[in-house]
Amino acid sequence: MEINLTEANGVAILSLKGRLDLSSGSLLKDQVKKLFEDEKTNIHLDLAEVEFINSSGLGGLVSLMKETRLRKGRLTLSNLASYVQEIFDITQLSHIFEIFVSQEEALNSYQTVNAG
């Protein structure tokens, strides 16, 4: 899996490409851990190019969410492919993650929260 890191308005944006499974989930966790070490706790994952996610990938995301909550940060997701969205719906993870249709919409939500 490829992970591309950018940043906008204090939000770390990780654009993922490929398959989110055990090994790539672990790669993602390492990347986010580094962000936490830099005290960056507002994290957005753009899943536009994630074609497949399995149980281990889901577990990785759940544990990332818990870690982010512990650090009083936010973890948002966007651009879920239809199959990925289907798995999120069946596992009801769509109820615990903040999921946006687009990256732009997700980043706007950070600004709204900060402004509020």
Q: Binding pattern to other proteins, positions 64-93, x when CB under 8 A? A: --x--xx-x----------x---x--xxxx
From the list 32, 23, 24, the residue with the least C-alpha distance to 2 is 24
- Going by the DSSP 8-state scheme, the letter that residue 93 receives in this structure is G
From the list 112, 48, 36, 38, the residue with the least C-alpha distance to 75 is 36
Q: Which is nearer to other proteins, 33 or 104 (CB)?
A: 33
Q: Binding pattern to other proteins, positions 9-38, x when CB under 8 A? A: ----------x-xx----------------
Size of the site for other proteins (CB under 8 A): 24
Q: Answer for the pair 27, 56: CB distance below 8 angstroms, yes or no.
A: no
Question: Structure tokens of 29?
Answer: 């966790």
Pick from 6, 9, 26, 55 the residue near other proteins by CB under 8 A. 55
